[in-house]
Amino acid sequence: MVVPHIAFWGTRIREADLAGVQPFRLAAEALGDKVEDLKKLTVVVGGVKISDENEFLILATYAGAPHSWWPVEAENIISKRCLARTSSSVK
């Protein structure tokens, strides 16, 4: 997925669950030399299916990231179509 004008750090977790994984810590360590105020860090974790395996993607960005035109929030990353499918499938 490409989000215009927003630079991301990302990693793939090749596990079916997040036991023992600390997404915020991973992002903070990866971007720590660029982000002085961790309140400006946005972290999104999404479950994905890759080659029939359940995995996770962790994406992170921060206010003031190079080549980013505006601060990003999780809502800017998730497609409204995904939200519609998720909310309609959860009952």
Mean pLDDT of 11-29: 93
Residue 58 lies in a domain: yes
Residue 3 lies in a domain: no
Residue 72 lies in a domain: yes
Residue 41 lies in a domain: yes
Structure-token pair, residue 29: 């360590």
Residue 1 lies in a domain: no
Question: Which residue segment(s) compose the domain that 77 sits in?
Answer: 9-89
Q: What's the whole-number average pLDDT of the chain?
A: 77
Instruction: For residue range 51-87, list pLDDT tens digits in order.
Output: 999 999 998 888 777 666 666 666 666 656 655 544 4
Nearest-angstrom CA–CA distance, 71 and 43: 12
Nearest-angstrom CA–CA distance, 36 and 83: 32
> Considering its fold, how many domains does the chain have in total?
1
Residue 70 lies in a domain: yes
Beta bridge partners of 50: 53
Residue 77 lies in a domain: yes
Q: How confident is the model at residue 89 (pLDDT cuts 50, 70, 90)?
A: very low
Mean pLDDT of 9-13: 91
Residue 2 lies in a domain: no
pLDDT at 36 over 70: yes
φ and ψ at residue 27, rounded to 5 degrees: -65, -45
Q: Residue 66 carries which side chain, given as an amino acid letter?
A: P
